[in-house]
Amino acid sequence: MGWLEDNVMIVTGGGSGLGRALVERFLGEGARVGVLEKSAEKAEKLANDFGEDVLVVEGDVRKYDDNARVVQETVRQFGRLDTFVANAAIWDFSTKMVDIPVDRLDALFDEMFHINVKGYLHGARAAVEELAATGGSIIYTVSNAGFYPGGGGPLYTASKHAVVGLIKELAFELGPKIRVNGVAPGAMPTDLRGPGSLGMGETTITSVPLGDLVKQCTVLQELPEAADYTGHYVLLASKANSRTATGAIINCDGGMGVRGLAETAGGNDL
Ligand SMILES: NC(=O)c1ccc[n+]([C@@H]2O[C@H](COP(=O)([O-])OP(=O)(O)OC[C@H]3O[C@@H](n4cnc5c(N)ncnc54)[C@H](O)[C@@H]3O)[C@@H](O)[C@H]2O)c1
């Protein structure tokens, strides 16, 4: 018996990386899943790979109507909604403030905040009535960049700090019927893209030496796969196991915040 037996989940950006790993894990835990995904190619692959237990809507998290459509179609197909996972985002490849061309700043700000922040707000707004009906929850994908500098440039870091603010505010506003929590993963090799406004729409995070960075910046030192983060979402979504959790964020970045100042983490013979 899975932890999410008979639950119905929605995942935004379920076409690759962490989102796709969540779809697979939720199915394995007994749930059915709706997905909102912008890439037509990834949406088609999801539909082909998973069949009738996954409902795929092609659309853009920046549009309220697309968020509303995935909620309506998921509830029409599966009868209810228990958890909305807002997860789709882009990264700024740690582009520092002084390296952002001044004439690109407006477009970059809008692109980053419209996807990473407004998309999350639209998702919550579109889902609240259905979630209230089931005593459900919202889970936001944050990042180490929601807590520490240097995991992005100013715009990615600010967008993920904004997500932390949304979690706290919405947990306050939507209780007692709806719980609102977050998962803050660290690095993983995925298809995470950059902003089109900086000409990075086709650049993926796998072009960065993530294994070396993780070794330097974390206590656990190993680069995880997306699937390694999915258990945290299962825990927070589970009504039986997370009844008391709202406004909580699971930091699962390999111990970035307890890395300390020593040359190497650990530093003993264990
Ligand atoms: N990869 C990492 O190292 C890392 C680290 C910390 C946090 N995260 C976070 O994990 C989450 C998932 O990212 P990922 O690494 O799996 O990347 P990914 O690109 O593999 O997955 C994101 C998915 O969202 C889709 N998407 C992008 N823009 C969209 C839009 N406007 N509307 C609908 N769908 C859209 C993409 O097509 C893709 O399928 C993000 O919130 C990201 O910030 C990633």
Outline where 53-199 has alpha helix (H): 64-78, 105-113, 119-134, 154-174
pLDDT band at 70 (very low <50, low <70, confident <90, very high): very high
CATH assignment of the domain containing 216: 3.40.50.720
Tell me, yes or no, whether 144 lies in a domain: yes
Tell me, yes or no, whether 12 lies in a domain: yes
How high is the pLDDT of residue 234? 99
**Is residue 69 pLDDT above 80, yes or no?**
yes
Q: Assess whether 156 carries a catalytic annotation.
A: yes
Mean pLDDT across 215-239: 97
How high is the pLDDT of residue 269? 77
**Is residue 129 pLDDT above 90, yes or no?**
yes
* Ligand 1 pocket, residues with Cβ under 6 angstroms: 12-13, 15-19, 36-39, 42, 60-62, 87-90, 115, 141, 143, 185-188, 190-193, 205, 226
Tell me, yes or no, whether 1 lies in a domain: no
How high is the pLDDT of residue 267? 66
Give residue 34's domain range.
8-251
Mean pLDDT across 1-17: 97
Tell me, yes or no, whether 139 lies in a domain: yes
Q: Which atom of ligand 1 is nearest to the CA of 204?
A: 19
196 φ/ψ angles, rounded to the nearest 5 degrees:
-60, -30
Which one from 148, 156, 229, 233 is the annotated catalytic residue? 156
Give residue-wise pLDDT tens across range 172-225.
999 999 999 999 999 999 999 999 999 999 999 999 999 999 999 999 999 999
Query: Ligand 1 centre and the CA of 191: distance in Å?
Result: 7
Tell me, yes or no, whether 268 lies in a domain: no
How high is the pLDDT of residue 210? 97
Strand residues in 112-247 grouped as ranges (E): 137-141, 179-185
Query: Ligand 1 centre and the CA of 86: distance in Å?
Result: 10
How high is the pLDDT of residue 268? 74
How high is the pLDDT of residue 261? 82
Number of structural domains found in the chain: 1
For residue 57, what is the enclosing H or E element? Answer: strand 54-58
Mean pLDDT across 116-145: 98
Tell me, yes or no, whether 127 lies in a domain: yes
Distance between CA atoms of 230 and 37, rounded to whole angstroms?
18
Shortest-distance Cα residue to atom 38 of ligand 1 = 13
pLDDT band at 20 (very low <50, low <70, confident <90, very high): very high
